[in-house]
Amino acid sequence: MRSVLTILCLIALCSGTALAGQDRTILIKNGRVMDGSGNPWIRADVLIRGDRVEAVGALGDVAADEVIDATGLYVTPGFIDTHSHAGPGLASSGLSHGEPLLAMGLTTVFVNPDGGGSLDMARQRGELLADGLGVNAAQLVSHGTVRRAVLGTQDRFATPAELDRMRVLVRTGMEEGAWGLSSGTYYVPGSYAPPEEIEELAKEVAPFGGSYTSHHRDESTYSIGLIASVEEVINVGRVAGIPTVLTHVKAMGPDVWGYGAAIVERVERARAEGVQVFADQYPYTASATGLNAALLPRWSQAGGRDSLLARMDDPELMARIREGMVEGLARRGGADRIQFRRYRPDESIEGMLLSVLAEQRGQDPIDTAIELIRGGSVSIVSFNMHDDDVETLMVQPWTMTSSDGGLVPMNEGVPHPRSYGAFARKIRLYVKEKGTVSLEQAIRSMTSLPAQVFGMPDRGVLRAGAIADIVVFDVEDVRDVAEYIDPHHYSEGMVHVFVNGQAAIKDGAFTGVRAGRVLQKRRREIS
């Protein structure tokens, strides 16, 4: 573990570097400037001074330390990922550069999603800054981590005293600069929490102007059903009076294909009532999770892995578990829709379909899944969405763009390609090839809309006074290269990427500059 002194020295060094370049000017000339609001592009110049945009417009021959000719290129705010699992990678020395993120045009990522992640915001902030950050990171307080700290993985309601302890932990996280509360009520231990628990904890973020983002309880037919689960998230916003986000919104599995329209109807109804409901979405028809989460009944996972294995050794309980796994596999569309992305006990199966592995072993797919679960942690890609639903949800003006991706060492495992390609894929496939959304709407979903939802007035926009998180790209060259079976490829097309006014990508090449910051939300003034 790095010492506190080392971390403080590094923070001071970063601050000194920023101060040294505070007056440096960069002029981006003749670009197609899109301000992030959804407005069409205009021909304009952008002047950067230090870490901020000083002017946007026809600036003529204004003097600058560096001039970039952006003729034929789009100039937009840097992209914001509202749902990222990149936090652990960014906190490691080998991945803190964030190059896969920068290659997609990302300049800010929200970490600790799905109710998981660090409990100590200050400590995590130090870990993120220790080796320098390639991108900005914004922290969320994780409900699952908070609950685990108080109740472990017990399948029960919290007592009033335990709920008070959780309130304190959420409030402390917000006081340390978090931007809101994340939950994963689909996952253990969040799945054991009643809606009232989430509502009470969400009230703790309201005085800070925070938001609530949720991998909600059911995206299919696992428990309460997709639509009831959407209503549960909406009600958190209604009760707590804060913006709420249906994170990586989807209709997962054949049982609910076509439900995209029903989600839209519920959200629109709530928004008409004044509830601040939004969604984010990654532009793929496959999700990614753990095999345990995909197939095992939630009751079987209470108490952790040792308790699960004990239940699996009990013939009567194992029969019930197997029955639940059969239902879970059906919800996912069958064994030919599950691809292994990481399994350290046997790396040879990574990239293989469950159906293929079961056939090789001469087994029923459920038996194969049971053996793998007994052997260790299994991460999967699950091909379980219909593109009609993806597009129905994508076109909504309240839908943001996210990746739900992480940061992994190059060529390690077979991760979901979204970790390398989500934002580029949306532009390549859904803007250029399919025309599902306009470029203006796509950019808004990646910039000003997430900044609005989370309360970042100086980011996600391209105007005088805003922070100079800026991307410059040729829209014809933007493309995702990562594929499901061959994911370890950076996206292409970003010519320049500026993070806090410093070039992280210049002329299509990484500069090695790490100008990212851990962004801290402050308590709003309450009259």
Q: What does the pLDDT read at residue 21?
A: 55
pLDDT greater than 60 at residue 1: no
As beta bridge partners, residue 380 has: 289, 340
pLDDT in the model for residue 56: 98
Give all strands of the β-sheet with 379-383 in edge-to-edge order: 286-290, 379-383, 338-342
Is residue 183 domain-resident? yes
Q: What amino acid occupies position 4?
A: V
Name the token pair of 169. 């932990």
Query: Taking 50 as the threshold, does the pLDDT of residue 160 lie above it?
Result: yes
pLDDT at 523: 60
Tell me if 176 is assigned to some domain.
yes
Q: DSSP letters along 255-278, please?
A: GGTTTHHHHHHHHHHHHHTT--EE
In three-state secondary structure terms, 511 is: coil
In a domain? residue 16: no
C-beta of residue 337 within 8 angstroms of C-beta of residue 356: no
Averaged pLDDT, 343-360:
96
CA distance 44 to 34: 9
Average pLDDT over residues 212-234: 97
Chain Cα centroid distance, residue 90: 14
| Same domain flag for 430 and 295 | no
Does residue 80 contact residue 459 with C-beta atoms inside 8 Å? yes
pLDDT band at 61 (very low <50, low <70, confident <90, very high): confident
376 pLDDT more than 70 = yes
91 and 138 fall within a common domain: yes
Average model confidence (pLDDT) across the chain: 94
Domain membership flag for residue 216: yes
The CATH code of the domain that includes 412 is 3.20.20.140
Whether 117 and 219 map to the same domain: the answer is yes
Co-location of 271 and 335 in the same domain: no
The total of structural domains in the chain comes to: 2
57 belongs to a structural domain: no
Q: CA 170, CA 159: separation in Å to the nearest integer?
A: 17
Q: Burial, 187: exposed, middle or buried (Cβ in 10 Å; 0-12, 13-18, 19+)?
A: buried
Average pLDDT over residues 276-290: 97
Cα first-last separation, the chain:
43
Q: Is residue 38 part of a domain?
A: no
Which pLDDT score is estimated for 6? 36
Give the count of beta carbons closer than 10 Å to the beta carbon of residue 109.
Answer: 28
Q: Is 512 helix (H, G, I), strand (E, B) or coil?
A: coil
Do 275 and 423 lie in a common domain? yes
Looking at the fold, whether 135 and 263 belong to one and the same domain comes out as: yes
Among 392, 423, 456, which residue terminates a domain? 456
Q: What is the pLDDT of residues 421-480, one digit of tens each?
A: 999 999 999 999 999 999 999 999 999 999 999 999 999 999 999 999 999 999 999 999
- Residue 2: pLDDT over 60: no
pLDDT of residue 20: 43
Which residues does 431 contact at the CB level (< 8 Å), separation at least 6?
437, 438, 439, 442, 475
Full-model pTM: 0.92
Assess if residue 41 is contained within a domain: no
Average pLDDT of span 336-354: 96
Do 117 and 253 lie in one domain? The reply is: yes
Whether the CB-CB separation of 79 and 104 falls below 8 Å is answered with: yes
**339 and 233 co-located in one domain:** no
Tokens (6 digits) for 496: 């320049």
Examine the domain organization and report whether 108 and 200 are in the same domain. Answer: yes
- Whether residues 267 and 203 fall in one domain: yes
Domain residues for the domain of 368 are 289-382
Token representation of residue 157: 């309601």
Domain assignment present for 346: yes
Query: Within this chain, do residues 258 and 301 fall inside the same structural domain, yes or no?
Result: no
Q: State which of 422, 456, 490 marks the end of a domain.
A: 456
Question: In this predicted structure, what is the pLDDT of residue 18?
Answer: 42
